[in-house]
Amino acid sequence: MSVTLDGPLAGLSLNTATVREQWTLAEIIPACRRFGITGVAPWRDQIAHIGLDETERLIKGEDLTVTGVCRGGMFTWSTDAERQAMFDSNRTAIDEAATLDAQCLVLVVGGLAPGSKDMPAAREQVAEALATLLPEARAAGVTLAIEPLHPMYAADRACVNTLGQANDLCDMLGDGIGVAVDIYHVWWDPALATEIARAGDRILGLHVCDWLVPTTDLLLDRGMMGDGVIDIPAIRAMVEKAGYDGHAEVEIFSAETWWKKPPEEVLRICGERYCSVV
Amino acid sequence: MSVTLDGPLAGLSLNTATVREQWTLAEIIPACRRFGITGVAPWRDQIAHIGLDETERLIKGEDLTVTGVCRGGMFTWSTDAERQAMFDSNRTAIDEAATLDAQCLVLVVGGLAPGSKDMPAAREQVAEALATLLPEARAAGVTLAIEPLHPMYAADRACVNTLGQANDLCDMLGDGIGVAVDIYHVWWDPALATEIARAGDRILGLHVCDWLVPTTDLLLDRGMMGDGVIDIPAIRAMVEKAGYDGHAEVEIFSAETWWKKPPEEVLRICGERYCSVV
């Protein structure tokens, strides 16, 4: 088993949601290094579980690149208390991303405000929250990454549903913010090639998994790369042509399949598929 | 109970999928009239079940407007045999729409070709099939309606996922083809207002139901109008501003809720919600 950082999986990062049901970060981080995976993208609840200091110590001890911290965002609010809690949470997330020297803080922007059906208003709140937080992120040395989510999450998770919207926000906001391209969310988009080219050096991450047919659950039935219908090499070629040369980050939410397998098997297959189909 | 055709539900059409598990068309068509619903949009499998002649006799006997026949399409193919079967099926669908004097033949264009991951190729096949069928539809006096489907159906049902794509196809193809606006499929689209205005007099139908939070099944968990998060009056105002003055067609696929209720109750609530929230 490779323990080098320049092996065949040197371009692979593990989003820690992929084995979240089997392992804590204290187990995931050393496992990445054992498998030759050189990047990691931890979730904040998993960080909280073992503590930020311990997370930092483990990641730096294994010399892993933090390709992103998951996640900030959820910017939409109905009450002043919700608005304040949202800003508090995002400020903590920025601090955590700074501590971990993350390449970006991934932002899932939030869906409709609680009780609201007003999508344009939700999108305005997102723009307002980003405009407020971006200077603070810049000051902390943290780059923000807007992750457009699949339109099936528009109501409850993210009202930014295309790369075009994310690029528009970046155009409006200026430096220090870019996009995370998760192929699961954007593969269907007829404007995909155009908007990836437009994003250019704003592409801060490439997240990979696969779209299964049939998909049995809107949230927790993502597939392993190669098991679905996404033309992953085509999208990877688009982002590379646009200038992205960072890690591919595997992120699989899979309650019935991958979260039930031994985590070593999951990592082994992630590595195999990264080499064969990504 | 109203039996007039100018009552409060005179602008309502019933897509027959809404009570498909409870009733055949022989029961659905007279029920529309009893409830004061003046339009109907039958599915082809339901037509086949009682026969095209009987469907025509019943619909004309009740003086209902056929707001659409569901459905043609599924244009993508991998083999010559699949291609031929697709054209055969669509030619029959055009004949059926002509016989029933339907306002349009609704087209669900198909997803990736069997075994393929090539989305651009699928979209080219759709354009090719439409270009072949449109002159035949014109000759038969049948208007074609492209229905963009939600991106979560891109793989297996429709690779036309936005009104923008549908409008592009209409621009390319010319007269005799337009769009069906199903709010379930398009409500999330940041370009919705722009593309509805662009569609203008090409809008051939307005399909209504609602997006539930949470949604428990990708296909069969659509909500009754008012039970979800879609701002239906806002979208209805957009299509009316664009010039559409036809029926609102209620189409609810709901395996666990509405397909299990007594069909009279379903129609009664459809009527109430049409008056209160559409």
CATH value at residue A105 = 3.20.20.150
Count up the domains in chain A and report the number. 1
Res B4: pLDDT? 55
Pick from A190, A213, A230: CB nearest B161: A190
CA of B119: which chain A residue's CA is closest?
A: A188
Q: What share of chain A is helix, strand, coil (3-state, %, to 5)?
A: 45, 15, 35
Res A214: pLDDT? 97
Quick one: pLDDT band at residue A6, thresholds 50, 70, 90? confident
Residues in B touching A214 (Cβ below 8 Å): 156, 218
Q: Which residues of B touch A (CB under 8 A)?
A: 112, 117-119, 123, 150-152, 154-156, 159, 161-162, 164-165, 187-190, 211, 213-215, 218, 228-231
Res B6: pLDDT? 78
- Whole-number percent of chain A with pLDDT over 70: 98
Residues in a beta bridge with B56: none
Res A27: pLDDT? 98
Provide the number of CB pairs (under 8 Å) joining chain A to chain B: 71
pTM: 0.97
- Asked whether the ipTM of the predicted complex exceeds the cut of 0.85, the reply is yes
Judge whether residue B1 has pLDDT over 80: no
Residues in B touching A155 (Cβ below 8 Å): 188, 211, 213, 228-229
Model confidence pLDDT, tens digit, residues A49-62: 999 999 999 999 99
CA of A190: which chain B residue's CA is closest?
A: B165
The answer to whether the CB atoms of A152 and B218 lie below 8 A apart is: yes
A2 in a structural domain: no
Distance CA A133, CA A87 (A): 8
Cis peptide bond N-terminal to A71, omega within 30: yes
Helix (H) or strand (E) holding A201: none
Distance CA A51, CA B75 (A): 54
Pick from A119, A123, A218: CB nearest B218: A218
The answer to whether the CB atoms of B151 and A230 lie below 8 A apart is: no
For residue B248, report the phi and psi dihedrals to the nearest 5 degrees: -95, 125
A5 in a structural domain: no
- In angstroms, the first-to-last Cα distance of chain B is 21
A125 in a structural domain: yes
Q: Which of B76, B78, B117, B186 to mutate to test the interface with A (most CBs of A within 10 A)?
A: B117
Model confidence pLDDT, tens digit, residues B191-207: 999 999 999 999 999 99
The answer to whether the CB atoms of A211 and B119 lie below 8 A apart is: no
Model confidence pLDDT, tens digit, residues A78-106: 999 999 999 999 999 999 999 999 999 99
Shortest Cα distance, chain A CAs vs residue B30, angstroms: 35
Q: Cβ-count burial of A227 within 10 angstroms (0-12 exposed, 13-18 middle, 19+ buried)?
A: buried
CA of A191: which chain B residue's CA is closest?
A: B165
The answer to whether the CB atoms of B156 and A214 lie below 8 A apart is: yes
- If you ran DSSP here, which 8-state letter would residue B226 be given? T
Residues in B touching A156 (Cβ below 8 Å): 213-214
Q: Which residue range forms the structural domain that includes residue B70?
A: 12-277
Across chain B, mean pLDDT equals: 97
B53 in a structural domain: yes
> From the centroid of its chain, how far is CA B117?
26
B6 in a structural domain: no
For residue B222, report the phi and psi dihedrals to the nearest 5 degrees: -80, 150
For the record, the structure tokens of A168 come out as 């528009």
Distance CA B232, CA B208 (A): 8
Model confidence pLDDT, tens digit, residues A174-222: 999 999 999 999 999 999 999 999 999 999 999 999 999 999 999 999 9
The answer to whether the CB atoms of A213 and B155 lie below 8 A apart is: yes
Res A4: pLDDT? 55
Residue with tokens 């996404």: A230
B35 in a structural domain: yes
Distance CA A95, CA A140 (A): 7
Residues in B touching A121 (Cβ below 8 Å): none
> From the centroid of its chain, how far is CA B155?
19
CA of A226: which chain B residue's CA is closest?
A: B117
Distance CA A190, CA B186 (A): 14
Q: Which residues contact B3 (CB under 8 A, 6 or more apart)?
A: B33, B34, B36
The answer to whether the CB atoms of A188 and B164 lie below 8 A apart is: no
Order of all β-strands in the sheet with A203-208:
A65-66, A39-41, A12-15, A248-250, A203-208, A177-182, A144-146, A105-108, A69-73
Distance CA B152, CA A213 (A): 10
